[in-house]
Amino acid sequence: MISIKRELAEYGFTPRKRWGQHFLIDRNILKKVIRTADLQKGDVILEVGPGLGEMTYVLARQVKKVIAVEIDSKLAGILRKKTSGSSNVEIIERDILKVNFNQLHTQEGQRLKVVANLPYQISTPLLFRFMESRKVFLTLTLMLQREVAERMVAPPGGKAYGPLSVFVQSVSDLSIRFFIKPSAFFPVPKVESAVIHMVWKESPMVGFEETWFKEVVRGCFGYRRKRLVNALKHSNIPLPADLEQRVERIGIDPQRRPETLTIPEFARLAEAIRQ
């Protein structure tokens, strides 16, 4: 891996803060990310924010195809030139939040694996998109902000536990594989990063329509310091007149705080108060 700083200077490129551009400059970390992804020769990889293509090159040598999505038009142009000799690399110049994942699935005829260094400011909304389209993806191997990773694995009862924790843990088996110091990137970010690996559960922990479950969870956590029934009453979701009695019937104390509920308890709650 040549000096990222030197290569950026040669291309006359300045990393843009508004897109959260931090380039991985540590080759050892890159190798660890690739090992974490557990790649197979027949895999199709979706790479988000490929930057100057260091990871793209390594991925392309190991898998069937790499689809690299880059929002920055100048970087996308550089990538097209650098990968012009690689027939199994496709560069898509687009905002990843606007990419049609189902279309990619249809195009490739198989499920994809995601390997990505996520821009910090879009990591949470993108995670929700990946989960909503999980039939498209086999696994996710992601570099993201350490704080977000710790929220994803947080148990009930703590400040980090919230909607992201509930939704991620209800549909996936997630592990934080390792942490990355800011010095592994250029420009140097202000926070540490983490690499996570996600595999979908064969049977999600929510056995009914997920949209309502998500509304209930978000409604509860919107007022996480209030008691459970009061939090629900302050939300905008439609509630039954006998709300408190329904909550008691499923064995949940209406006076508990939302942040103490486990995922199975949230599932029972959502089912019990659905009209």
CATH class of the structural domain 4-200? alpha beta
State whether the Cα torsion 105-112-81-98 is positive or negative.
positive
pLDDT higher for 271 or 3?
A: 271
pLDDT at 3: 78
- The closest of 177, 167, 164 to 200, measured between CA atoms, is 167
Distance CA 73, CA 92 (A): 10
DSSP letter, residue 1: -
What is each CA distance from 113 to 15, 66, 71, 121, in whole angstroms?
A: 27, 10, 20, 22
- What does the angle CA 178 – CA 206 – CA 262 come to, to the nearest 5 degrees? 65
Strand 112-117 relative to strand 65-70: parallel, antiparallel, unpaired?
unpaired
Q: What is the pLDDT of residues 85-142, one digit of tens each?
A: 899 999 999 999 999 999 999 999 999 999 999 988 899 999 999 999 999 999 999 9
Please give the CATH topology (third level) of the domain spanning 210-273.
Helicase, Ruva Protein; domain 3 (1.10.8)
Q: What is the pLDDT of residues 214-271, one digit of tens each?
A: 999 999 999 888 999 999 999 989 999 999 999 999 999 999 999 999 999 999 999 9
- What does the angle CA 208 – CA 199 – CA 150 come to, to the nearest 5 degrees? 95
pLDDT higher for 26 or 204?
A: 26
DSSP β-bridge partners for residue 139: 199
Q: Residues of CATH 3.40.50.150 domain(s) within the chain?
A: 4-200
CB contact at 8 A, 139 and 199: yes
Minimum mean pLDDT among 131-145, 151-165, 199-213: which range? Answer: 199-213
118 C-beta neighbours (distance < 10 Å), count: 22
pLDDT at 218: 95
CB contact at 8 A, 196 and 174: yes
Cis peptide before 182 (omega within 30 of 0): no
Considering only the C-alpha atoms of the chain, give the largest distance between any 2 of them, rounded to a whole number of Å: 68
Share the mean pLDDT of the chain. 93
Taking the model in full, what pTM does it have?
Answer: 0.91
Q: Which helix (H) or strand (E) holds 133?
A: none
Phi and psi at residue 92, to the nearest 5°: -110, 120
Percent of the chain surpassing pLDDT 90: 78
- The closest of 45, 61, 57 to 110, measured between CA atoms, is 45
Tokens of 78: 């550089």
Q: Residues of CATH 1.10.8.100 domain(s) within the chain?
A: 210-273
